[in-house]
Chains A and B, each alone.
Chain A
Amino acid sequence: MASEMRSIGKPTPRIDARERVTGQARYTGDVQLPGMLYARVLRSPYPHARIVRIDVSKAKAMPGVHAILTKENCRIQWSSGDSRNKRLLFNDPVRFVGDAVAAVAASDRHTAEEALQQIVMEYEELPFVLDMEQALAPGAPEIHPGGNLSPNNEGERAPETDQRGDVERGFAEADQVFEDVYISKHHNNAQMEPRVSVAQWEGSRLTVWASTQGISNCRRDLAKDLGLPLNQVRVICQYMGGGFGNKNQCHDFDLMASALAKETGRPVKLEFTRAEDFVAVHGRWPTKQYYKVGVKKDGSLTAIRMKAYSGMGPYRKGSGGVAGAQLYRCPNVKTEVYPVYTNMAVSANYRAPSYPQGVFGIESLMDHIAHTLGINPLDFRLKNMTEKYHDEVPYSSYGLRDCVTRGAEALGWRQKWHPPASDRGAQKQGVGMAMGYFGAGLGMSSAVLKLNPDGSLQVHVAVTDIGTAAKTTMGLLGAEAMEIPFERVSVLSGDTDRAPYSVGESGSRTTNYTGYAVVTAAEDLKRQLRELAAQSWSVAADAVQYSQGAVYMQDRPDRRTAIAEILKGNPDGLIAQATTDPKLKGVSRNSFAAHFVELEVDTETGDIRILKYVAAHDSGRILNPLTAGSQVKGGVAQGVSMALREELLYDQMTGIPLNPGYYGARIVTHGDVPDVEVIFVETADPYGPYGAKSVGEPPIVPSVAAIANAVFNATGIRIKELPITRSKILDAAPGVRLEGGRA
């Protein structure tokens, strides 16, 4: 099949690269409408407080101020802002520093901002709690009635539990039992484009230019929260500047802009500052993971137990999951995760939401176990790695073992691995590895394809392209399925008025969901073409074949009739629509990865320099090696940043975040990111279009753990709390002898 591929598998530049780099692309922030007002949001300076008095009279009297919303005149519920509790646009009590308390629309941004200063908002401070375990302790301030353990999907106050076998029996059978604690921190998605929304009413019809990962869901949520029929809401996002999971669904700023536009009768633009973006939306949930693992002398696992806490902030927007244990074959596994309310910034989806922090924990611990047992960490993984989901369900396609072996070879693992802290002198080199997996299933999306009479193809899909090159992928799939050149395909996307439902770009599933619909609709177009030809030739439809933009009688492949000829006299061309909902049958579907790092730690300065980075990925068949490779490199950059730098620091006394923004959070720059050698282990997945699996989220999954393990191999220092800062290295360094080996 591969030899027949025309568009797929070739490195193809993004369909809109020119528009993006020349400034022609119109992002949401670029939208300017006649009479448009500008909005700004006032936010709580307290982590937990009751509002006792609001006076907007002075602000309202300012020239240029058109409308002010507070809890007193706006009771709109932001339903996707909390899946457990009723979260309004403006809440009382406020539950974190940055919780919105008022929004102002004014003739310009500065007037709006000055008006915020004139709003009187008096608070009665309440006790607050930032730490997840303290939030569950008796007597902790209750953030919502009923306590700080967030209810599960069934509404029960119980941890999310996953169990197979009997861990106690497993520990009894073990020769050695390891217990350890790993900690990860809240850090922000830090996408380039800040949050922005422009809302305009025309009569009873609302149009919102959003910066969203999913226009269909954004429209659904807006209609729901504003009480509008779906046909009265249009959401547009032609170009978007990234989100990494924090622009799913509709957001409070979409609702605020819509409400202010309604109130004023004018279009309203609401754009967040970078600092607001860091504290007021959401980042990755922090975790504290307690592990207990039983092993036999030969290194085989008898039991894995994990009890973990996830800090969700005061509103439940994400699962709080802690993934990782599934990487290992083990008969007895029990994981319990407690999603906890705190008065920190909200935590929810950030690229592979549950994974990199959990994999940091389990892969650090497995590395430690291998080291303690005197087994090379590579061999330990080859012995214990998962081969079936939960040791029983086969994977739809499986390339993890090849990722591990090929990645190890590319790094030179067998030559470079040495016992920890072997290097003499202050600069110590080491290698580390970690495995990763990511579960993205299949699901429902739609596509409409229009085949024009000249044979060119329009693909109508509701994708927004958050940086994954999804528009390009949809075009490639259309071209491949129709067997026509990619240049003959245009993609019409990012507008709910001209595209059918798409699940949205989250969960690494656009190719699997929407792409599948594109391919299915193309099959329908080809059927229609064959039928048209059969009618005009007065033959049975199954006697007609289609290939490469032409039809022909099965027995006369040399006499081809082009699409344009078939569609002559058919001015509208052909339209096909597909809504697919394929189901997995008896298999589990995962993408896999293994990352290998060689780095140098300067034990006198704490500097960590990555010398070589190999990322081996099984994402099924790679539809576009150029953009898929970019996904891997971007994920590694975020992994490096998460491993070594990022943490939203809080002042413990006041509950105020200290370092929001690119500077304060010390997010890595180009100069800090290594060259990444990308290896694709191409398995042919029977479910994805042309064998594809997910590639968007997996690249960040093993990165953090691989770096942490390399730091251990270099120095003998096992850092169990992210990020691996200079101070942690230097605080531990006195225990490292410069001659090599631990003191």
Chain B
Amino acid sequence: MKSFVNVNPKSLDEAVAVLDRARAQGKKAALAGGGSDLLGMLKDHLVQPDLVVNLKSISGLEGVHREGERVRIGALTTLDEIARHPLLVERYAALAQAAGLAASPQIRNVGTLGGNVNQRPWCHYFRQGFPCFKNGGKMCYAVAGENQFHALFGGGPAFIVHPSDTAPALVALEAEFKVMGPSGAKIIPAEKYFILPREDVLRENVLGENEILAEVILPAAPSGLRSTYLKIRDRQAWDHAIVSIGAALEWEGGRCRKARLVLGGVAPIPWRVPNAERLLEGKSLGEALARQVAEAALAGAQPLAKNGYKVPLAKATVRRAVLSLLPAA
């Protein structure tokens, strides 16, 4: 790896100032949370920062905190803690399940929520250092290449899929992200946080070079909320989702009051499927409706040469997820 300067800021404000100064000087900075992915990317020369800002030196960025009916989760909270946290397991199951299914036990012990949300793509071409769009180049090699793991929706010019497990769950749970920047804190709804390659092919989210994701805020869990995260993966540990879904349904009197269905592994961002959500709202759920919802969720999918199998796979995933959320009779 290229030599870099390690910075240990004591506060978020200091960290932001460091980032801001680096940007003004034309230097590249990288944020280190758990570092489980950053270290590999440094070694593979995929990122070559002049300085690494170590967020672990800032206190108060960890932990799950109740605040009234809301829950605040520090960006440095480990995936393992989220997966086991009783409040999250009980009220925000989709998030706890997503965190518990991410990566491997070792990575969950050090990997953070912020790192998982902001994770760079795991496209083979990107990770092998091809001069692709994501690496600052001028083409997406997957289009005519090995695209079995690539996007069905929202592709172009890059066809990566967003690698995060927690992101679809957070969008489904209507979480908000607290981002610290030079002008203070701002709150961004999870759904607005992620951006498509056609908006900016070098980034997967709105986070600026001088901004830090500090906290994730979960709104009060409405009555009748049931949520889940279902992940299809090739092996039982250390695998990104081939296809996944964060699903949150609110039930009232046996009918679905509100639905949020967000697919993972099919698009460059967590992919919400509003047409499928609307089919559920106001209805009681059965096998036939679940199939219609699944069809609607995948309507408009544009498979590449080798990822057509994801269409029936995602349909099955959607159907099973929503059926698993049927309220107790």
Interface residues of A (CB under 8 A from B): 110, 113-114, 426, 604-607, 645, 649-654, 656-659, 662-664, 666, 668-672, 725-727, 730-731, 733-734
Contacts and interface: CB of A to CB of B under 8 A. Distances in A.
B306 interface: yes
Interface string B195-239: 000000000000000000000000000000000000010111111
A671 B237 contact: yes
Nearest to A729: B309
A666 B239 contact: yes
A730 B144 contact: no
Q: Which of A606, A652, A725 has the most CB of B within 10 A?
A: A606
B141 A672 contact: no
A114 B2 contact: yes
B306 A727 contact: yes
Q: Which of A649, A650, A656 has the most CB of B within 10 A?
A: A656
A725 B149 CA distance: 12
A668 B2 CA distance: 33
A110 B1 contact: yes
A270 to B, nearest CB: 17
B312 A652 contact: no
Nearest to A662: B238
B237 A659 contact: no
B130 interface: yes
Contacts of B235: 645, 666, 668-669, 671-672
B128 interface: yes
B264 to A, nearest CB: 15
A672 B130 CA distance: 31
A653 B144 contact: yes
A668 B235 CA distance: 6
Contact of B124 (A113, A649, A726): A649
Contacts of A651: 125, 130, 141, 145-146
Contacts of A726: 232, 234, 242, 309, 313
Given A658-B124, A727-B148, A604 B316 contact: yes
B317 interface: yes
B124 A605 contact: no
A631 B2 CA distance: 42
Nearest to A668: B235
Contact of A733 (B146, B234, B236, B312): B312
Contacts of B308: 731
Given A645-B234, A726-B309, A658 B146 contact: yes
Interface of A is mostly: loop
A113 B148 CA distance: 33
Contacts of A649: 124, 146
Contacts of A607: 232
Contact of A658 (B104, B128, B234, B237): B128
Interface in B272-329: 306-309, 312-313, 316-317
Q: Which of A605, A607, A657, A659 has the most CB of B within 10 A?
A: A605
A653 B313 CA distance: 28
Nearest to B232: A605
A652 B143 CA distance: 12
A666 B149 CA distance: 13
28 contacts: A110-B1, A114-B2, A605-B232, A645-B234, A649-B146, A651-B130, A651-B141, A651-B145, A651-B146, A652-B145, A653-B141, A653-B144, A654-B130, A658-B125, A658-B146, A664-B127, A668-B235, A669-B236, A669-B237, A670-B236, A671-B237, A672-B236, A725-B234, A726-B232, A726-B242, A726-B309, A727-B309, A730-B312
Given A666-B234, A671-B235, A606 B144 contact: no
Nearest to B234: A666
A547 B234 CA distance: 57
Contacts of B3: 110, 114
B236 A113 contact: no
B128 A656 contact: yes
